[in-house]
Structure 1
Amino acid sequence: MELLKQRIMQDGRCYPGGILKVDSFINHQMDPMLMYKIGEEFIKRFSNENINKIVTIEASGIAPAIMVGYIMQLPVVFVKKKKPKTMENMLTTVVHSFTKDRDYTVCISNNFLTPDDRILFIDDFLAFGNAALGIVDLAKQSGAHIAGMGFIIEKAFQDGGNVLRKMGIHVESLAIIDSLDDCKITIR
């Protein structure tokens, strides 16, 4: 997706340790027109999948997931990082955050993730694949089928994409970063 790649090169910032900041247009301040184009691109890439629900994990995946759900006219469910006291029929798994270097117990009600669901998981970043593997675990617990996983940005050098693809999951990344060595952004 050329528009996204241009924006990463223009406004993305690199930090030591393989961190790419895109907080001025994706995950803190958002560009809604870019998000809409991102939603359209995901829909194109997953058009052959029979999807009936969009799933994401809070918080940065919510905006692109809502765009996809809005355009496809499908419900959007987000996996929560804090267990609400009122959640019924809770499924949980542990996810490690690369950016924050901590583990989260994430949860979703199996009222909203069922064996009838063919889900498209949408998130902002794919690095080591920890959040995505958490979704795989939650889908397994609920009996839901993962029709695909879409990521705005994949950091190919951190191998999460390879792990998911080897599992047979249809993965689409709109921009693939091959390297952040010496804080130079190299996009495939």
Structure 2
Amino acid sequence: MPFTLPPLPYADDALAPHISAQTLHFHHGKHHKAYVDKANELITGTPLAQLSAVEVIRRARADGNDKLFNNAAQAWNHEFLWQSMMPGGGGAPSGALKAAIDTDLGGMEKFAENFKTAAVGQFGSGWAWLVRDGGALKIVTTHDADTPIAHTRQTPLLTLDVWEHAYYLDWQNARPDYVGAFLGELVNWDFASANFADETRLAA
């Protein structure tokens, strides 16, 4: 099956106090697992079971299969989310990604300001992303399960989940503080830089 629930790339309590072990237990072990299980259930016994996760997501979108798209995309988005964070993260990237942020997004301070504005301003459930779109970096948001990999010009570099279940146990309604903690303490710039250097790694 193309969808799996890999273990978190760190211990449940590794992102505390910014994201608690309790949040990760429910978010990864319950929410993410439910999306994986449902996506696989929906494609069992069909030709889609032989495709990659990205191919399933794009096929479901093209076919207007909202139930499959929502579960498959959420399974993929969450796996990408866990890698977008790390203990002792934050700060700034170096090398080519930093140069691109300076050129395309006005530098790190401006990037952080605009990413936070986008994430906090996303109405209802959704995601905030740093993507490469047609050769340039952009900050985009997606609603509910939508994902940049369904938009073939966009290559995601990092993401933040702004569904309430991602932060409410720890931050209640203080979404700005949650986003600030992500940018200042958790964002995994090594992961984003690897995606920037080799966007083909997300093609399958």
TM-score interval w.r.t. the shorter chain? under 0.3
TM-score w.r.t. the length of structure 1 is 0.27
RCO greater where, 1 or 2, for CA within 8 Å and sep 6 or more?
Answer: 2
More helix by share: 2
TM-score w.r.t. the length of structure 2 is 0.26
More strand by share: 1
